[in-house]
Structure formats: C-alpha cells, structure tokens
Amino acid sequence: RSFTLSVQATDNASTPASSTANVVINVADLTEAVNVASTAWTNAGLTVKLDPSGTLLRVVTSGTDNNAVLEQHVLAKVSSLTVSGRASADDRLIIDFSNGSPIPSSGISYSGGTGGNDSLELSNGVGFTNVTHNFTDANSGSVTVSTATASSVINYSGLEPIVDNQIGRAHV
C-alpha cells in the first residue's frame, strides 16, 4: 500500500517561486520500534524469540507455549526492541536463539527497573563466533553476539545476574 504526499516549497526571495513534487511513501518499507511496557510482565518473566519459520519476532510469557504471545512482529520490519522491567519486582528476560537470532537490526534494550532481582538470560544459541560482554558497571552494559555474517547487541541496565548459556568460539 502506498500514499502520496504533496509538498510545496516557497522561496521568500523578491520573486516568489513555488513548485510541487510528489513523494511516495511505501508502508511496506517502514520499520517500527517495538516497546514492551512494564505492565506486560508476569512473575514467570518474558521470553524474546523467533517463531519456527524464523521470520516473526515474538515476546511470550516465559514457560508457556507459542499461544501465549504478548507481542508479534515481522522481524525484518522491527528496527529495535525496548523492554522495561517492573519496579520492585523480580524480572527475568530470556533471549532464546533456538529459531535464530531474535535481535532486531538496532538491537534490544532492557531496563530491569528499580529494586527486585532483575536478570537477563541468553539461551539456545549455537554457531556464534563470539559473545562479548561489555560492563559499564555492576548492573549495566551490553552483550554482542556475533556469527560469521552479523553481530547483534543487547544493551541492559538495572540488572543483577546475567546468565550466558551460549555456545560460541570465544566469550570475551
């Protein structure tokens, strides 16, 4: 589906001139930033993963089947994913690589919120050439997972443990 937007520019010089041009916006080319609010959490935690076809990014309640999908988006159309944890609660975010990398092109940002015991777990990943942990402080930093062809970043803050169950050539 496309939309046409008419734009008119006027030159404020002594001899005003104007012109009109058509700009075509193709909705299929647009990407979206996905935000998962703190209200989406349950005590079981959240899991970010791909569907079995590897094309749909899903946020599900941890420990449930694919029918408990809270968010679902075409991965190629998602620019970034931001997950906000609850205040004074134990939040556990699992990034599950079993159907491929669910990390959008601009990465995942996860804020555990204040208080509680907030955690990040990386699971079911194989084929990584490197998994690099960059620590800003005891509770914040980033994890970069790399394959032979791409790298993806998870930024985090307000966390206590980070569990890395990835099988990679090098953990840095």
pLDDT tens digits, one per residue of 143-159: 999 888 889 999 999 99
Span 32-53, average pLDDT: 90
Q: Does the structure show a pLDDT above 60 at 116? A: yes
Residue type, 26: N
Contact, 10 vs 57, CB < 8 A?
A: no
Report residue 54's pLDDT band, with 50, 70 and 90 as the boundaries: very high
d(CA 48, CA 104): 11
| Of 119 and 26, the one with more pLDDT | 119
Predicted confidence at residue 126, as pLDDT, reads 75
Per-residue pLDDT, 32: 86
Q: Please, what is the average pLDDT of the chain?
A: 82
Query: Is the model's pLDDT at 21 over the cut of 70?
Result: no
- Which pLDDT score is estimated for 67? 61
Q: Are 107 and 152 in contact (CB under 8 A)?
A: yes
Output the pLDDT for position 124: 86
Contact 141, 133 (CB under 8 A): yes
Q: Which of 72, 70, 71 is nearest to 55 (CA)?
A: 72
Residue range 12-27: mean pLDDT, rounded: 60
The pTM score is 0.79
Structure tokens at 125: 């990943």
SS3 (DSSP) at 154: strand
Q: What is the pLDDT of residues 56-96, one digit of tens each?
A: 999 998 876 556 888 899 999 999 999 999 999 999 999 99
b (16+ CB within 10 A) / e for 124-154 = ebeebeebbeeeeeeeebbbbbbbeeeebbb
- Between CA 166 and CA 154 the distance in angstroms is 14
